[in-house]
Structure 1
């Protein structure tokens, strides 16, 4: 008899699926326009950034008790993700 998947494995699967769905956007866009020119390294970096942020959000939601703490933690994670993404894209901090 198989046991049900654990909460952490379901969270990891959600992050994996969301990361894959988000990475499909530039993959499809590259087929229709020359404006999007990602290579394998770009996809790898984006996967690490999105996957790491997703896992950090799942961890925050699982460990923090109050709604306010969860909201602040998730906002901080998203802010850091956006700042790193923008820095890698156009170098906003130079």
Structure 2
């Protein structure tokens, strides 16, 4: 027997993966418009890995038998940690 995900969870998944693709696409577009953006293959790979880990965490939170508030809190914590890591890698926020 398989467990079917709720339509709202499917919508959240689709929105997340679309945003993840957009986050990876924006620097690629910006590199063509400005010399100030200079991402290399390693930068794209690292960002894809970070987005993949956050996506996996969101998938696990959506599949867990938690209340809506706990799911929202888990997802917010994952997104917050992602933003902190991203800021540290981008500008050395904690140096």
Q: 1:19 Cα shift? A: 3.1
Alignment match, 1:27: 28
Deviations 1:30-56 (A, max 9, x none): 111112110001001100011110111
Match for residue 56 of structure 2? 55
Unmatched 5+ stretches in structure 2: none
Distance 1:72 1:51 in 2: 19
Map of 2:70 onto structure 1:
69
* Distance in 2 (alpha carbons) for counterparts of 1:48 and 1:40: 12
- Normalised by the length of structure 2, the TM-score is 0.77
Deviations 1:1-45 (A, max 9, x none): xxxxx86xx8xx956655333211110111111121100010011
C-alpha RMSD of the superposition: 2.3
Mean Cα displacement is larger for which, 14-23 or 61-70? 14-23
Higher alpha-carbon deviation: 77-86 or 60-69? 60-69
Aligned match of 1:3: none
How many angstroms apart in 2 are the aligned matches of 1:16 and 1:75? 16
